[in-house]
Amino acid sequence: YLLFYSCAIIVITKFTVDAAASIRRPIHSVICKVALNYWLALSVLNRFDITQIKMYEWNVALGEALRNVFVPQWVGAVMKTIVFWKGELPWISVKAAIMCLMPHGNDRYISIGVFYLVLPFLLLSIVTVLSALGLAIRRVCKAMFKFSRTLGKSGPGPIGFMRRTAHMSVEAFSRNLNNEPRLLSIWRVFDGATIGVAPRFISFMHDMIPVYVTTLYLIWSPVTDTMLELLECEIFEIPMASGAKMLSRRWVFDPDLVCYSGMHTSLTVIAVIGLLVWTVGAPVLGLYILHRGKATSRLNDAQFLRRYGFLYLGFEEHCWYWEALKRAQALAYGVVSTWPLGDVKARLVM
C-alpha cells in the first residue's frame, strides 16, 4: 500500500516538474490533477446506500422498459467475469487488514485512527528513502559501468559548472543548480563533480519539495475520510426494559460505543488532531505559500513552479487559490456524507 502510493507520487511529481520546466506546459500533469479532483468528487457517492431511496413510478416503468435493451454477448461475458472474480477475490483494504491483525475491537479502532494520523509522516519518510536510494543506486551504477549519459535533462558540463560555482555560498550554489542534469526530471545529479555532503543534502531536500507537496495532496483524501468516519455518529433507538425506547447517539461503525464518551473520546481526539493538522493545516499552508508567491510575483518563476506548481498549474494566474477551494469543497462533501444531517436523499441533495 505504502509502496504503491510512493511510486504514484513520484510519477505524478515527474509530470508536474516536466510541466513546470517547459514553456509549452505539457497537458498530462493538468489531466492527472483534473482526474484526481473528479475521482475525489465522485468518491463521496460510495458512502451512500442508493437502494434506500424510493424510486418514483415513472422511474420504475422506465426501468422495466430498459430491461429489453440489447447488450452484446461479449459485454455480458466480461461483466460476469468481473462479478465472479470480485466475489471470489474481495478487495483487502488497509482498515480490513488492521482489523484482522488486532484481536480486540477497541485496539482495532485506535490502531486504525493512529495509522491514518501518522500515515502522511510514513509516506513522507518512505518517499524520501526511496528517492535517496534511487540516487544512490544511480551513482553506484554510474561508477561501476561508466555510463556516458545521464537519465535527466541535458545541461552544462558538471565539472565546468562546479568550477564556476566554487566561490559561491551554499545558498547561492543551490540556487544555481537548476540547469543541472536531473534524475526523472526531479533530483539533481552531480556526475563527475566532487562536492561536500552539506551542499548535496541541501540540494536533495530542495528537490524533494515537489515530492512532498504531491504526497500531502494525494494522502489528503484517505486521511480526511478516515478522520470523519471516526466522528460519524447516528441516533439509535435503544429499547428499555419498560418497553419504552431511548434515543442515544452511537458510533456508526460500532453501535456499542456511545459517541463522545468512553472509548469514543480517544477516537474523537485522534480525529480532531488529524483534521486540524492534515485536512485543514496542509491546504492552509499551501495557500499561504502561494499567497507569498503571488505577492512577490514568483508564480511564473521556474524554481517556484518546479516546487509548488502542482498546486496551481492548469489554473488561470488570478485563480492561484482554486486548489484550496477544491479541498474545502471535498471537505464539505465528507461532512455531508458522515454527519447526521438527515436521510440519504437529503444528504445527496446537499
Cell of 6: 510512493
Q: What is the mean pLDDT of residues 335-350?
A: 65
- Helix (H) or strand (E) segment spanning residue 316: none
Please tell me the pTM assigned to this model.
Answer: 0.76
Among 190, 204, 183, 197, residue whose Cα is nearest residue 161: 190
Confidence of residue 183 (pLDDT cuts 50, 70, 90): confident
All three cell numbers of 94, joined, read 488497509
- The region of weakest confidence among 35-49, 73-87, 155-169, 317-331 is 155-169
At residue 210, the pLDDT reads 94
Residue 255 confidence (pLDDT): 87
| pLDDT over threshold 90, residue 40 | no
Over residues 321-331, the pLDDT tens digits come to 998 998 998 88
- Between 183 and 178, the more confident residue is 183
Asked whether the predicted pLDDT for residue 152 surpasses 70, the reply is no
Q: Where are the domains of the chain?
A: 2-47+76-349
| 182 within 8 A of 206, measured Cβ to Cβ | no
> Which residue would you say has higher pLDDT here, 187 or 71?
187
- Cβ distance 213 to 286 under 8 Å? yes
C-alpha separations of 322 from 120, 217, 279, 296 in Å: 23, 14, 16, 19
Distance CA 152, CA 77 (A): 46
Out of 96-100, 121-125, 234-238, 294-298, which region has the weakest mean confidence (pLDDT)? 96-100
10 Å Cβ neighbour count for 165? 18
Q: What is the pLDDT of residue 169?
A: 43
Given a cut of 90, whether residue 267 has pLDDT beyond it is: yes
Structure confidence at residue 158 as a pLDDT band (50, 70, 90)? very low
The answer to whether 322 and 312 are in contact (CB under 8 A) is yes
Distance of alpha carbon 164 from alpha carbon 177, whole angstroms: 11
Helix (H) or strand (E) holding 134: helix 105-145
- Tell me the residue ranges of DSSP E strands in the chain: 182-183, 187-188, 233-239, 245-251, 254-258
Q: Which pLDDT band, with edges at 50, 70 and 90, does 142 fall under?
A: confident
pLDDT band at 23 (very low <50, low <70, confident <90, very high): low
Q: What is the mean pLDDT of the chain?
A: 77
The span from the CA of 10 to the CA of 48, in Å, is 33
φ/ψ of 193, rounded to 5, equals -110, 145
What is the helix (H) or strand (E) element at residue 343, kind and residue range? none
DSSP letter for each residue of 154-169:
--S-HHHHHHHTTTS-
Q: Which of 313, 329, 109, 292 is nearest to 214 (CA)?
A: 313
The grid coordinates listed for 38 are 473528479
* pLDDT of 69 over the 70 cut: no
**Has residue 202 got a pLDDT over 80?**
yes
Which letter, b or e, does each residue of 42-62 get, where b requires 16 or more Cβ atoms within 10 Å of its Cβ?
Answer: ebbeebeeeeeeeeeeeeeee
pLDDT greater than 70 at residue 205: yes
Confidence of residue 114 (pLDDT cuts 50, 70, 90): very high
CB 199 within 8 A of CB 174: yes
